[in-house]
Structure 1
Amino acid sequence: MEFRKSLETLIESLKQENEFREQIVHWHTIPPKQAETVSMPNSIDNRLQQALKKRGILELYTHQAEAFQHAIQNRNFVAVTPTASGKTLCYNLPVLQQVIENESSRALYLFPTKALAQDQKSELNELITEMGVQINSYTYDGDTSPAIRQKVRKAGHIVITNPDMLHSAILPHHTKWVALFENLKYIVIDELHIYRGIFGSHVANVIRRLKRICRFYGSNPQFICTSATIANPRELAETLTGEKMELISHNGAPSSRKHFIFYNPPIVNKPLNIRKSATLEVRKLAAHFLKNKIQTIVFARSRVRVEIILTYLQELIKKEITQKSIRGYRGGYLPKQRREIEQGLRNGDILGVVSTNALELGVDIGQLQVCIMTGYPGTIASAWQQAGRAGRRQGEAVIIMVASSSPLDQYIIKNPDYFLKQNPETAVINPNNLVVLVDHLKCAAFELPFNDTDTFDGLELEDILQFLAEERVLHYNDHKYYWMNDSFPAHNISLRSASQENVVIIDQSDLAKVKVIGEMDRFSAMTLLHDEAIYLHQGVQFQVEKLDWEEKKAFVREVKVDYFTDANLAVQLKVLEEDNKEIFEKIEYGFGDVTVQAMATIFKKIKFDTHENIGSGPIHLPEEELHTNAAWVSLNDSITVDFKEKRLEESLIGVANVIQHVAPLKVMCDPSDLHVIAQIKAIHNQKPTIFLYDRYPGGVGLAKRLFESFDIVIDEALRLLTACPCQEGCPSCIGTDSSSKSIKLDTLTLLEFLKDEMYVTKK
């Protein structure tokens, strides 16, 4: 019990010690919850019941029993319960029961990451072994050896894969998978909430292709989805699968006591309301637990932040524990490294891990007791997912959210009730995004020709197919459209990024052993992999010696410096077409197609610890162009009478800055998915205008959703600005270093004006 006392003592010390106590804004204890169970259904095969009994499962949680009933009655459903509530049985039970009853039945499991797929396979295979029944369950991903691939295709009762493999390796070669497609009974989509934005829009089209192939082989599979808590799980599941869904949302699982602590770093500059870096406070808090051998996970919002915190922690506690006991985990690491880290967390060799949101999914990483978030993760759903990583098996857990000076973080930390009582956000996808849709129609035509009268899961296609035939991408003959290219299209289409190609990162520290250490999408590479950038990987610093933009390669060399780099992006925006416009006496709303030109301009060198600017340099990269959707609000002439042009421009920038941090709350997206810019004279109407645009080609529906709820966004922005304690504006509200003393007041005036006008227009 020494271990348990140790954690309780540390929890108590947070309340007692001045260095922590004074920064704790709110301490919310979530009491333990008892399980709600029902008897095991008699229809479940006795061998399956006995295998569950060996694992101590004698009854089912209410949500598991409800899922089983929907499944055996051939209804598609989505189960929405928190992390570690036994969602896996919601699909494993009906699938295993079906295969026992009919051994020709097949199931396809889709997980958003390879790590999660590997993890679920281990658990499923243990259960199958205990049953003593011949059921073949295999993962099929990039790591599957060619020797095993044929066995998976012919004999796999349960094929576990990810959307990327389904898109590029299974659907294009469906003739090798006849046994799967002819007998496919269940399609399981886990972690549904991940399929939003551009990724979700792509995956919805992959599902359309999958259903088309199933129909060709005569099967009509049932969909089982599971998700973390979001506001619109049924709507998202129905849009993603194109099928009607039942919703299971009452959680019958028990949960341990959790302490949710809202922590605001101390103010270091009162006039500007600038707080001590969240990164430095996280370092102190994580060390507090790690020094006492308490397994801890630290979440950071970006790759750079992960590496900075990792460097700090490895240095700070090297006397107490070895460097290998604290590891980083993020996208860009190679698969072997990631598997090794997951295993180390499970068996206790690794005490601490610093991760991006890559580990917020349901990968089983053992008995973590403390979760520390560096800043608000961007969505309520994401924050609860991260919190769920602590206390999965132990009786008590600590979750600490450490705020940065950003407006959104300050809003959440000062309004804990907003976070604790608010409905989670709405997940938005747009399967009919033309850029995405055309890509997948090419893939679908390669897989099976289209007839004149065919639809794409109900979507009329005639115009697009004719266009592709005119462009000589498809060949039209005898009322059918055929693929007419040598290469097959899926290879060139990435489901995960806006641009189709990633930049490969090549380490040439040792010229005898040049190796690839990671990759990054092009838009991120502009600001993170430019010449002279400091790129961090597993706590090691690399300097970018050359970014070959044409060849999409970044050459890096290991260095030891006491700074990191941060880059600026200059943006220009033009409206191409107005799809929707509402003009009122003093304001006008708009929504439509825009073109955005972005250019990385300069980078700054920022010193570790003090975070002071110690130098800068230019970035020489070509402009990137983006065609997307935007919503905007323009001010008519009457408001400009009250402001001189300079003051109006500063106020517009202030309002845009606050909206940038509030808007992602409404549409469940990463703040970087949605950009907000202000123009004193918009090119299309010559009026002061604030634009909100999707950072993806063709848009994914974020700006459209915000166009429909502009009034709510303005209301939240006003609440954030009013609650900020600064006098003249600071980085925690309007985010400006303007010399004007009236800037905060002007921004408030402008927001109040917008709120009043929107109230009038809504009436």
Structure 2
Amino acid sequence: MTSSRAETLLSRLCLDPSRADRVTHVEHVPARSGRPADWPAWAAPLLVDRLRLAGIERPWAHQVQAAELARGGSSVVVATGTASGKSLAYLLPGLTALMDDDRAGVLYLSPTKALATDQLRAIRALNLMAVKAATYDGDTPREERDWVRRHGRFVLTNPDMLHRGILPRHGDWAPYLRHLRYVVVDECHSYRGVFGSHVALVLRRLRRVCARYGASPVFVLASATASHPEVSATRLTGLPVVPVTDDASPRGTTEFALWEPPLMPAFSSGQGGGENGAAVRRSATAETADLLADLVVEGARTIAFVRSRRGAEAVALNARRALSEAAPELADRVAAYRAGYLPEERRELERRLQSGDLTGVAATNALELGLDVSGLDAVVLTGWPGTVASVWQQAGRAGRAGQGALAVFVARDDPLDTYLVHHPEALFGRPVETTVLDPGNPYVLGPHLGCAAAELPLTEADLPLFGDEHEVRLLLADLVRRGVLRSRPRGWFWTSRERPEVDIRGTGGPP
């Protein structure tokens, strides 16, 4: 979609005179030309041929820079914009390693099942016989899990399954872990706060188990644009990480509109229905539903991001209801996409998204992360998503492959959103945030020390891996005092026949 098409869409949204004053600001984000590079000399010729057949004639410079670093043994974080092709940075070294060595393995970690499924689809589309790629997650049938353990070489999973299903049974994975060459951590900026601290410790446990089998895999992390990504990546992995931040991919123009819903008619006279008689604005979800329906009528493929599952369902339902009156033939081309669907329902929605059968989608942030949906024309953001990074991650879902795009931020009726739509410099003039996590948090570290001891007895040599040695010793002493671990001259041993119960989506436990 060209910039003029984006401008036309925005003007069509404002045709109704009552909408004229809802747009408080339009930010023009200019286009950028791409900077291609040559394929690395070490890349497997068959892989390069298949990538060319897939439409990638030449890689972008940042993809080659990151791939060269990983191939050379340096852990690397690629922190570039949405749709900049970060996946090629790890696929080049990873798939080449699998094609050069029939014992080598690659482990891919994704924060969502949808993203892992999308990556699996992309890898299988290359039709490389030497690459046995498979997902290993909660949707994987029991009978398939044995096959993945024995034969999988590019294994796609998530931190939860690594924590609960792979590390506690690492003996079953010994042949794979012994030859693990690369660990890919996709969308690593999503691992922040307490959850990010849990994931950081799961990755340290993975490194420890790999070392037990003689492997020292290179980590390749993919991140949205972030401030000092190497600092966050080092904190996440416990390893020195080299940043690649110079985005060489092309980008189309983006027209980014800030949109404030109107005051409710009953309250516009000043007799408000809010707290202390304050005026009340129309809900952002209702406004988003109307915008989604209007964009679908205009033929614009659109994703509307909504903060809750219920909100996503409400937006899709109301958009379909509006379309059933204005354009009945389009009503079935709008759907909700959120977590909580059955696997087969989610796969069918993803298929319809990929094929273009769906024109409008109301989604939670399950679609913010990386799922490759090409050809999108517009994105509607329903309320502040929490970070500047998420704003650009969501807005960047439209205009992939260098097309122009329209993004609309619809303010909720709260002080923060109201401030943002009237002070655009607070949004467009701000750098993206640094991802914050603390693997040294004793309420997180303590339980993971128990998990590590249950996997392999902890030794003195392991202590630096988990942070400050003095703090680690204090936590180990507490675990011994409580009978969780037993101290012996050779290290610390797990005492129970039961496996540790640690919820990495929770807040942690007693240190």
TM > 0.5: yes
Residue 294 (structure 2) aligns with: 288
Are the aligned partners of 2:114 and 2:366 in contact in 1 as well (CA < 8 Å)? no
In the other structure, the counterpart of 1:639 is none
Equivalent of 1:139 in 135, 138, 160: 135
Structure 1 distance, partners of 2:430, 2:3, is: 33
Please tell me whether residue 57 in structure 1 is matched to residue 56 in structure 2: yes
Q: Which SS does the other structure have where 2:24 is aligned?
A: strand
Q: Where does residue 166 of structure 1 map in the other structure?
A: 162
Q: 5 Å matches for 1:521-670?
A: none
Alpha-carbon distance, 1:9 to partner: 4.5
**Which residue of structure 1 aligns with residue 495 of structure 2?**
484
2:189 equivalent in structure 1? 193
Closer/same/farther in 2, CA of residues 156 and 487 from structure 1, 3 Å limit: same
Deviation per CA, 1:469-517, whole angstroms, max 9, x where unpaired?
Answer: 221222334443222223211xx322223389xxxxxxxxxxxxxxxxx
Task: Report deviation, 1:456.
Answer: 5.3
Q: Among 237, 254, 259, which residue is 2:255 paired with?
A: 259
Bigger relative contact order, structure 1 or 2, given CA contacts below 8 A and separation 6+? 2
In structure 2, give the amino acid aligned to 1:73. G
* 3-state SS, counterpart of residue 317 of structure 1: helix
SS in 1 for 2:369: coil
* Bigger helix fraction: 2
2:441 corresponds, among 433, 436, 440, to 433
Q: State whether structure 2 residue 43 is matched by structure 1 residue 44.
A: yes
Deviation at 1:396, TM superposition (A): 2.9
Deviations 1:519-577 (A, max 9, x none): xxxxxxxxxxxxxxxxxxxxxxxxxxxxxxxxxxxxxxxxxxxxxxxxxxxxxxxxxxx
Residues 422 and 452 (structure 1 numbering): CA distance in 2 closer, same or farther, change over 3 Å? closer
Matches within 5 A, 1:506-517: none
Q: Which AA in structure 2 matches 1:27?
A: V
Q: What SS does the aligned partner of 1:218 have?
A: coil
1:707-722 matched pairs, under 5 angstroms: none
- For the 8 Å contact 1:27–1:259, the answer to whether it is kept is yes
SS at match of 2:304: strand
Q: How far off is 1:324 after superposition?
A: 4.2
Shift of 1:332: 2.8
Q: CA 1:407/1:8 → structure 2, altered by over 3 Å: closer, same or farther?
A: closer
1:182 matched to 2:178: yes
1:183-582 pair list within 5 angstroms: 183-268=179-264, 269=267, 272=278, 274-319=280-325, 320-321=328-329, 324-393=332-401, 395-451=403-459, 454-455=462-463, 457-459=465-467, 460=469, 461-489=472-500, 492-498=501-507
Counterparts of 1:456 and 1:164, CA distance in 2: 24
CA-CA distance at 1:30 after TM superposition: 2.1
In 2, the alpha carbon distance for the partners of 1:288 and 1:332 equals 28
Structure showing the higher strand proportion among its residues:
1
When residues 353 and 499 of structure 1 are mapped into structure 2, their CA distance, relative to the original with a 3 A threshold, is farther
1:7/1:450 CA distance change after superposition, 3 Å: closer
Note closer, same or farther for the CA distance 1:494–1:339 as it changes in structure 2 (3 Å cut).
farther
Maintained 8 Å contact 1:78/1:247: yes
Alignment match, 1:756: none
**Greater Cα shift, 259-268 or 419-428:** 259-268
Confirm or deny: 8 A CA contact 2:297 2:330 kept in the other structure. no
1:369 and 1:394 in contact (8 A); partners too: no
Measured in 2, the distance between the counterparts of 1:447 and 1:361 equals 31
CA contact under 8 A between 1:290 and 1:351: conserved in structure 2?
yes
CA distance in 2, matches of 1:263, 1:311: 21
Point out the more displaced range, 273-282 or 94-103.
273-282
Aligned-partner Cα distance in 2 for 1:286–1:468 = 54
Displacement after TM superposition at 1:254 (Å): 0.8
User: Which residue is equivalent to 1:658?
Assistant: none
Q: Which structure has the larger Rg?
A: 1
> Does the CA-based 8 Å contact 2:443-2:508 persist in structure 1?
no
Query: What secondary structure, in the 3-state scheme, does the structure 1 residue paired with 2:398 have?
Result: coil
**Hey, what does 1:664 align to over in structure 2?**
none
Separation (CA, whole Å) in 2 of partners of 1:418 and 1:207? 36
Q: Does 1:24 align with 2:32?
A: no
SS in 2 for 1:198: helix
Say yes or no: does 1:83 pair with 2:82: yes
- Following the alignment from structure 1 to structure 2, what is the Cα–Cα distance between the partners of residues 321 and 433? 55
1-structure distance, mates of 2:196, 2:417: 26
SS in 1 for 2:255: strand
Post-superposition offset of 1:329: 2.0
Is contact 1:260-1:399 (8 Å) kept?
Answer: yes
Say if 2:263 and 2:281, in contact at 8 Å, map to a contact too.
yes
- Single out whichever of 391-400 and 57-66 deviates more from structure 2: 391-400
Whole-Å Cα distance in 2 between the matches of residues 27 and 4 of structure 1? 13
Greater CA drift, 110-119 or 288-297: 288-297
| Conserved 8 A contact 2:167-2:455 | yes
Aligned with 1:275: secondary structure?
Answer: coil
CA distance in 1, matches of 2:223, 2:490: 42
1:104 aligned partner, one-letter code? R
Quick check: 2:27–2:256 contact (8 Å CA) kept in 1? yes
Measure, in 2, the Cα distance between the counterparts of 1:458 and 1:473.
Answer: 18
Counterpart of 2:274 in structure 1 is none
One-letter amino acid of the counterpart of residue 249, structure 1: T
Question: What fraction of aligned residue pairs are identical, expressed as a percent?
Answer: 38
Matched-pair contact (CA < 8 Å) for 2:6–2:406: no
| AA in 2 matched with 1:425 | E
Secondary structure in 1 matching 2:486: strand
Q: CA deviation at 1:97?
A: 1.8
1:118 aligns with 2:126: no
Q: How many residues align?
A: 496
Q: Deviations over 1:714-758 (max 9, x none)?
A: xxxxxxxxxxxxxxxxxxxxxxxxxxxxxxxxxxxxxxxxxxxxx
Aligned to 2:92: 93
CA RMSD in angstroms, aligned pairs only: 2.4
Q: Which moved more, 1:269-278 or 1:87-96?
A: 269-278
Aligned counterparts of 1:390 and 1:195: Cα–Cα separation in 2: 24
| Corresponding position of 1:74 | 73
State the Cα deviation string for residues 121-155 of structure 1 (Å, max 9, x = none).
1101222x1xx552211111122223332232222
Distance 2:188 2:78 in 1: 10
The 2-side partners of 1:65 and 1:478 are apart by 48
Q: How much has 1:394 moved relative to structure 2?
A: 7.6
Instruction: Indicate how the Cα distance of structure 1 residues 278 and 145 shifts in structure 2: closer, same or farther if over 3 A, else same.
Output: closer
CA–CA distance in 2 between the matches of 1:394 and 1:237? 28
Q: Give 1:273 deviation, angstroms.
A: 5.4
Q: Distance in 2 between matches of 1:306 and 1:57?
A: 34
Instruction: Check the 8 A contact 2:108/2:156 in 1, yes or no.
Output: yes
Q: Alpha-carbon deviation of 1:307?
A: 2.9
Given that residues 291 and 321 in structure 1 are in contact (C-alpha distance below 8 angstroms), is that contact kept between their aligned partners in structure 2?
Answer: no
Distance, in Å, in 2 between the alignment partners of 1:307 and 1:190 is 27
